A and B are shown apart, each in its own frame.
Chain A
Amino acid sequence: DTGVSQDPRHKITKRGQNVTFRCDPISEHNRLYWYRQTLGQGPEFLTYFQNEAQLEKSRLLSDRFSAERPKGSFSTLEIQRTEQGDSAMYLCASEIRDLGVSGANVLTFGAGSRLTVL
C-alpha cells in the first residue's frame, strides 16, 4: 500500500445527477478526512471519521452530501442533485490516531477526485 487512493480521478456530470467518490486510506490509518478545494483556494474541511464513526461534519456539508465509512476502511462521498457550485477537487486524507497527543499526527492526502458539473 503506497498511499491514499481516490477514484475516479475526474468525473464530469450534468447538473442534477448524483455522483459518488471513493477513498481507500493507508491500511493502518484509523482516521479519514474529506476536504473540498476550489481553484485558487486552500482545502476546506467537510467531514472526518474515526474508524466507522463520523465525528464531525462541516456546515459546508449540505443535505445533498453524505459520507460513509461502513467498515472503518474505505469511505464514500456522495453528492445528490449536483449543482454547478459543486465543481471542485474532492480530497481524501488519512492518519493514525494514536494514544499520544492527537494533534501531533500527520495527514496524508490522496491525489483527489475532480468534479466538473455542466
Chain B
Amino acid sequence: QKEVEQDPGPLSVPEGAIVSLNCTYSNSAFQYFMWYRQYSRKGPELLMYTYSSGNKEDGRFTAQVDKSSKYISLFIRDSQPSDSATYLCAMRNNQGGKLIFGQGTELSVKP
C-alpha cells in the first residue's frame, strides 16, 4: 500500500463547477500538506500549503486537512478552463526531507 493515495481520475467538469480533489495517507507523522499543479510537460508548481489540521483559503482555492481521518482535500470554486491540469497532493513530516506525492488527479474543465 502506498503512503499517499490519490484518485487518478480523469475528472471532467463544466466551467464554473466546484471541484473536489482528495488524498488519503497512512503515515501519522505527516504534518505539512501541499497541493501542486502540473501542466502537461512542465514541472509541478506549488498551489496551496497547510500545516496540521484545518482550512486555508486562497482566492478560488480552499485546502482542508483532517489529520484524525488522514484525509486532505482541495476545493476549486468557479472552475476555469485554465485550471485544466494534473493536481498532486504531497506531504512531509516535521523533520523536513523528502516530500511524498500522491499519484495525481487529471482535471479537465470544459468551456
A contacts, CB < 8 Å to B: 4, 33, 35, 40-45, 48, 55-56, 91, 93, 97, 101-112, 114
Between A and B, 25 residue pairs with Cβ closer than 8 Å are A35-B101, A40-B103, A40-B104, A42-B88, A43-B44, A43-B88, A43-B99, A44-B101, A48-B98, A56-B98, A91-B43, A91-B44, A102-B94, A102-B96, A102-B97, A103-B32, A103-B92, A103-B96, A106-B46, A106-B49, A107-B46, A108-B46, A109-B44, A111-B42, A112-B43
Is B93 a contact partner of A103 (Cβ separation < 8 A)?
yes
Is A105 a contact partner of B96 (Cβ separation < 8 A)?
yes
- Please tell me the number of chain B residues within 8 Å of chain A, measured between CB atoms: 30
Of all A-B residue pairs in the complex, the 6 with the closest CB atoms, nearest first, are: A102-B96, A42-B101, A109-B43, A103-B32, A45-B98, A111-B43
Q: Is B7 an interface position by the 8 A CB rule?
A: no
The residue in chain B whose Cβ has the minimal distance to the Cβ of A107 is B99
Q: Is B51 an interface position by the 8 A CB rule?
A: yes
Q: How far is the CA of A42 from the CA of B106 in the complex (A)?
A: 11
Is A45 a contact partner of B99 (Cβ separation < 8 A)?
yes
By a CB distance below 8 angstroms, the chain B residues around A91 are 43-44
Is A55 a contact partner of B42 (Cβ separation < 8 A)?
no
- Minimal beta-carbon separation of A56 from chain B (angstroms): 6
Over the window 19-61 of chain B, the binary record of Cβ atoms lying under 8 Å from chain A Cβ atoms (1 yes, 0 no) is 0000000000001101010000111111001010000000000
* A-B interface contact total, Cβ < 8 Å: 67
Is A42 a contact partner of B46 (Cβ separation < 8 A)?
no
Is B94 a contact partner of A101 (Cβ separation < 8 A)?
yes
- Minimal beta-carbon separation of B37 from chain A (angstroms): 11
Is A106 a contact partner of B103 (Cβ separation < 8 A)?
no
- Minimal beta-carbon separation of A16 from chain B (angstroms): 26
Is A114 a contact partner of B95 (Cβ separation < 8 A)?
no
Q: How far is the CA of A42 from the CA of B6 in the complex (A)?
A: 9
Given contacts A110-B43, A111-B43, contact A33 B98 (CB under 8 A): yes
By a CB distance below 8 angstroms, the chain A residues around B103 are 40-42
Q: How far is the CA of A99 from the CA of B83 in the complex (A)?
A: 35
By a CB distance below 8 angstroms, the chain A residues around B45 are 109
The residue in chain A whose Cβ has the minimal distance to the Cβ of B103 is A42
